[in-house]
């Protein structure tokens, strides 16, 4: 029993980390197609902002809001100055955002210094079945789910969501119908930066906050987002993080951390290979296959009865 609880905890933990570290990117890359290599740096800005807010004497929650504001502001600024000019040439956004990531992380080092104090972690420990678990990590799980649900609602039920989806699928048509697509792009990019900054600030409760703090998250976030696919990015993100975290946790528990990491990457490769449009289509294909199989077995059994 203890083992099962422990596994469930690790699985949820791993899911939350994957989902939170990629949720900003799923907006920027998944919706807009911008290859944002500076994703991790937006997370870093969120963490730095939160650390500063806290040092200024703000309560922790407001400090985190400070971090989100910082990331959003820099995100919006970059969208206006740089990203906006790249919407027609998305592969080049890789080079430009790589440049931005160098400027941001090294700029933080020069202007602020090699590190800033971490944030205090107000959460305690909870004991289940004789094992101690971190409430902070459970909070991350709840947060990841809450954010995914909120995003889904935003896309599904609001005007912004409608316009955003229209802009991403048929920009010219949307424009013709009166959607101000440039504004939609800007808000979307800002939202992505805000979410990245939020994740960074939250991770800053339990990490050393340094200029290179975010760099490690960028490739992993890309993998989660590519596996999530382009059909329905929010549901895709949920499925992608759930599946990758399951593989990672299973192999980590069964073998070791390295095997877990490599198994996750290999799974991502397999999923992309089987279904370039993402995990949802793979699930769809598998379902179709299963029902085909079911109907064909049903068919043979019917024939058998007939023959009998």
Partner 1 sequence: MNISRRSLMKTSVALAATSTALAPVSAFAQEGPIKVGIIDDASGDFAAAVIPKTQGARIAIDEINAAGGVLGRELELIHYDGQSDVRRHQEFAQRAILQDEVDVLMAGYTSSEREAARAVAVENETIFWHNNQGEGGIADEYSFFTGPVPEQQILPGLEYMVEKYGKRVYVLAADYGFGQVSAQWVQASAGMAGAEVVGLEFIPLGNSEFSSSIANIQNEEPDFLFLLLVGSAQSQYFPQAQAAGIAIPSISTVNLQQGYEHKLFPAPTLENLYVPVTFIEELAQEVESAQVFVDKVRAAFPDTEYVNQMTRCAYVAVHLMAKAWEAAGTTDTPAVLEALHSGLTFDAPEGPVTLDPATHHLAMDIRLAQVQPDHSVEFVEDFGVIEPWWLKEMGVNLADTPQSRQYLPGDDPDLAAFLE
Partner 2 sequence: MRELLNGRIEPGKGPVFWIVGALLVIGMLFLPGLVGRYTLLNFNSFLLMVFLATGLALLWGFCGVLSLGQSAFFGIGGYAYGIVAINLADSPWASLAGVAGGIVAAVVFAALLGWLTFYGHLRGVYVSIVTLVVTLVIESFLNQTAGPQWKIGTAHLGGNNGLGRFSGAAENIPSLTIPTGGGNSLVISGSSPTFYYVLIGLIVFTYLLLRALVNSRFGVALAAVREDPDRAETLGYDIRLLQSMTFCIGAALAAMSGLLYVAWGNFITPSVFGVTANVLPVIWVAVAGRKSLAAAILGAVVLQWGAQQLAISGGEWALIVQGALLVLVVLLLPEGLLSLRQQYSRMRDVRSSSLKSQSRQG
Residues that bind partner 1 (CB under 8 A): 6, 9-10, 13-14, 17, 106, 109, 113-115, 117-121, 123, 125, 127, 131-137, 205-213, 215-216, 249, 252-253, 256-258, 260-261
Beta strand ranges found along 5-149 (DSSP E): 125-128, 131-134
Q: Is 35 in the site for partner 2 (CB under 8 A)?
A: yes
Give residue for tokens 């699930």: 283
Q: How far is the CB of 215 from partner 2 (least distance, A)?
A: 8
Contact 249, 12 (CB under 8 A): no
Q: How far is the CB of 205 from partner 2 (least distance, A)?
A: 26
Q: Is 91 in the site for partner 2 (CB under 8 A)?
A: yes
Give residue for tokens 């939350």: 16
Cβ nearer to partner 2, comparing 102 with 298: 102
Q: Is 106 in the site for partner 2 (CB under 8 A)?
A: yes
Interstrand relation of 125-128 and 131-134 (parallel, antiparallel or unpaired): antiparallel
What are phi and psi for residue 126, nearest 5 degrees? -125, 145
Residue 229 exposure: Cα atoms within 13 Å on the Cβ side: 21
134 binds, among partner 2, partner 1, none (CB under 5 to 8 A by kind): partner 1
Q: Is 265 in the site for partner 2 (CB under 8 A)?
A: yes
Burial of 293 (0-12, 13-18, 19+ CB in 10 A): exposed
219 binds, among partner 2, partner 1, none (CB under 5 to 8 A by kind): partner 2
Cβ nearer to partner 2, comparing 36 with 66: 36
Residue 45 exposure: Cα atoms within 13 Å on the Cβ side: 25
d(CA 291, CA 207): 47
Give residue for tokens 């009166």: 178
Q: Token pair of 93, please? A: 């956004």
Q: How far is the CB of 258 from partner 2 (least distance, A)?
A: 6
Q: How far is the CB of 160 from partner 1 (least distance, A)?
A: 34
266 binds, among partner 2, partner 1, none (CB under 5 to 8 A by kind): partner 2
96 binds, among partner 1, partner 2, none (CB under 5 to 8 A by kind): partner 2
Q: Is 280 in the site for partner 2 (CB under 8 A)?
A: no
Q: Is 82 in the site for partner 2 (CB under 8 A)?
A: yes
Cβ nearer to partner 2, comparing 198 with 222: 222
d(CA 198, CA 233): 19
Cβ nearer to partner 2, comparing 74 with 202: 74
Contact 204, 47 (CB under 8 A): yes
Give Cβ neighbours of residue 277 (< 8 Å, ≥ 6 apart): 229, 230, 231
Q: Token pair of 47, please? A: 């963490």
- Return the number of other C-beta atoms located less than 10 Å from residue 62's C-beta: 14
- Return the number of other C-beta atoms located less than 10 Å from residue 56's C-beta: 10
195 binds, among partner 1, partner 2, none (CB under 5 to 8 A by kind): none
Binding to partner 2 in span 129-158, by CB under 8 A: none
Q: How far is the CB of 242 from partner 1 (least distance, A)?
A: 16
Task: State the residues that interact with partner 2 by CB under 8 A.
Answer: 33, 35, 37, 82, 85-86, 89-92, 94-96, 98-103, 105-107, 109-110, 215, 218-219, 222-223, 226, 258, 261-262, 265-266, 268-269, 272-274, 276
């Amino acid at each position: 029993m203890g083992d099962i609880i422990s596994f469930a905890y690790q699985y949820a933990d791993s899911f939350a980390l994957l989902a939170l570290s990629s949720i900003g990117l799923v907006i920027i890359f998944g919706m807009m197609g911008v290859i944002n290599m500076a994703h991790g740096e937006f997370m870093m800005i969120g963490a730095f902002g939160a650390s500063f807010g806290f040092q200024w004497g703000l309560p922790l929650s407001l400090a985190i809001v400070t971090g989100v504001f910082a990331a959003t502001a820099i995100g919006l600024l970059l969208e206006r100055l740089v990203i906006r000019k790249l919407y027609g040439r998305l592969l080049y956004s890789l080079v430009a955002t790589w440049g931005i990531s160098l400027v941001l992380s090294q700029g933080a080092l020069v202007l602020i210094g090699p590190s800033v104090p971490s944030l205090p972690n107000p959460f305690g420990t909870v004991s289940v079945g004789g094992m101690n678990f971190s409430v902070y990590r459970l909070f991350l799980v709840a947060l990841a789910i809450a954010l995914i649900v909120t995003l889904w609602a935003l896309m599904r039920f609001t005007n912004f969501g409608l316009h955003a989806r229209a802009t991403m699928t048929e920009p010219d048509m949307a424009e013709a119908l009166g959607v101000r697509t440039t504004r939609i792009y800007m808000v979307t990019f800002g939202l992505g930066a805000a979410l990245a900054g939020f994740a960074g600030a939250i991770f800053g409760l339990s990490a050393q906050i340094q200029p290179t703090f975010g760099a490690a998250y960028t490739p992993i976030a890309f993998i989660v987002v590519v596996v999530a696919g382009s059909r329905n990015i929010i549901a895709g993100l949920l499925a992608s993080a759930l599946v990758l975290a399951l593989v990672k946790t299973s192999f980590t528990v069964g073998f070791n951390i390295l095997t877990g990491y490599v198994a996750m990457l290999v799974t991502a490769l397999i999923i992309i290979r089987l279904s370039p449009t993402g995990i949802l289509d793979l699930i769809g294909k598998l379902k179709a296959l299963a029902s085909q199989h079911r109907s064909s077995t049903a068919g043979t059994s019917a024939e058998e009865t007939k023959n009998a």
